[in-house]
Amino acid sequence: MKHVVVIMLASFVLVACDPPDVVKLLKPVKEVEPIKKSEPVKRNLNPEQLSRGAVLFQKNCAECHGAQGQGVDNWQKRGADGKFPAPPLNGLGHTWHHPTVVLKYTINNGTGKIGGNMPAFAAKLTDNQIDDILIFIQEKWPAPIYEAWYRTNERAHNKTTK
Ligand code: HEC
């Protein structure tokens, strides 16, 4: 008899549960947001970041990549050491093919480990300083190049956060 009472009570609790709450519980925990494709491209040209980036670039990057990020002539040909020289970062090379995560990875880690000649900057530059440098570099990219990079970056972001 005791058992019957317990079962009856349990079913009462279930039935008494507010239906909308049950519906909420049945929904998947994380809903997938659709990828936004047609947002207009916003360029970050914050003048303070830009001038900080210019100073940092001259100090850390210009000796190899050139004062305007133009790179070395014949940057696609290996040098005598078998390694590639510094490429242009100003939109003429393929820097813009890479999303922010990849660009930051290269700047933080350099290319020594993968057989290249670029030093690592993780111990020298903060994340904010790298952002400032990227803004200085990207300010040089013509609008269609910047837009193509922006879309790649958007797709990469959607991949890494979902
Ligand atoms: C000692 C020379 C040297 C310095 C200094 C240097 N780089 Fe490089 N960088 C290179 C070389 C060489 C490569 C080509 C990759 C390789 O090593 O094969 C490269 C590649 C890159 C790439 C990848 C380019 C692409 O198109 O994929 C980025 C981005 C970059 N450098 C940014 C920077 C920034 C920003 C700085 C300053 C904070 C900097 N580099 C300082 C030599 C240098």
Percent of the chain with pLDDT over 70: 74
Q: Can you give the C-alpha Rg of the chain in angstroms?
A: 26
Ligand 1 centroid, distance to 65 Cα (angstroms): 7
- Residue 20 token pair: 């909308």
Determine the average pLDDT of the residues in 125-139: 97
Given the CA of residue 117, which atom of ligand 1 is nearest to it?
17
Atom 16 of ligand 1: nearest residue by CA position: 116
Least confident of 6-15, 95-104, 111-120, 144-153: 6-15
Q: Phi and psi of 127, rounded to 5°?
A: -60, -40
CA distance from start to end of the chain: 52
Task: Report pLDDT for 34.
Answer: 54
Show the domains of the chain with their CATH numbers: 47-161 (1.10.760.10)
How confident is residue 3, by pLDDT bands cut at 50, 70 and 90?
Answer: low
Task: Report pLDDT for 19.
Answer: 55
Is the CB of 135 within 6 Å of ligand 1? no
- Number of helices (H), then strands (E), in the chain: 7, 0
Atom 36 of ligand 1: nearest residue by CA position: 61
* pLDDT tens-digit map of 48-87: 999 999 999 999 999 999 999 999 999 999 999 999 999 9
Is the CB of 94 within 6 Å of ligand 1? yes
Is the CB of 104 within 6 Å of ligand 1? no
> Which pTM does this prediction carry?
0.79
Ligand 1 centroid, distance to 107 Cα (angstroms): 7
- Residue 76 token pair: 């696609």
Task: Report pLDDT for 154.
Answer: 86
Task: Report pLDDT for 162.
Answer: 45
Atom 13 of ligand 1: nearest residue by CA position: 86
Percent of the chain with pLDDT over 90: 65
How confident is residue 155, by pLDDT bands cut at 50, 70 and 90?
Answer: confident
* pLDDT tens-digit map of 25-42: 555 555 555 556 666 788
Ligand 1 centroid, distance to 95 Cα (angstroms): 10
